Amino acid sequence: MLDQVQIIKDQDEARFAVIPYEDYLFLRDLLNDQEKLEDYLDYLHVQQVKAESSVRYSLEEVKRMLGLIGNPFAPDDINADENSA
């Protein structure tokens, strides 16, 4: 998105940005809906974190790190994988 932007300058100072109409509609829709905007910002944050880190964990590793495996207070569906293994 926004890879086709035309900048209009006045006396070497940027004054306006012209973007494709589809991008405008997307941005207008996004900015008028707080939930959509929050979701999009979350998505961008996740993409940034993924790009910065090459470490990946399996679901089993995450459960172990969070202390969910073998935890009697964890919901049954979380411990279901442990019991079936």
pLDDT digits 0-9 by tens, 30-82: 999 999 999 999 999 999 988 998 888 899 899 888 888 877 676 666 555 55
pLDDT 10s digits, 6-26: 999 999 999 999 999 999 999
Going by pLDDT thresholds of 50, 70 and 90, the confidence category of residue 3 is confident
- 19, burial (CB in 10 Å: exposed 0-12, middle 13-18, buried 19+): middle
Q: Are residues 32 and 3 in the same domain?
A: yes
Q: Are residues 11 and 23 in the same domain?
A: yes
C-beta pairs of 61-69 under 8 Å, 24+ apart in sequence: none
User: In this structure, how many other beta carbons lie within 10 angstroms of the beta carbon of residue 79?
Assistant: 16
pLDDT at 73: 72
Q: Are residues 44 and 62 in the same domain?
A: no
Q: Are residues 44 and 75 in the same domain?
A: no
Domain of residue 81, residue span: 55-85
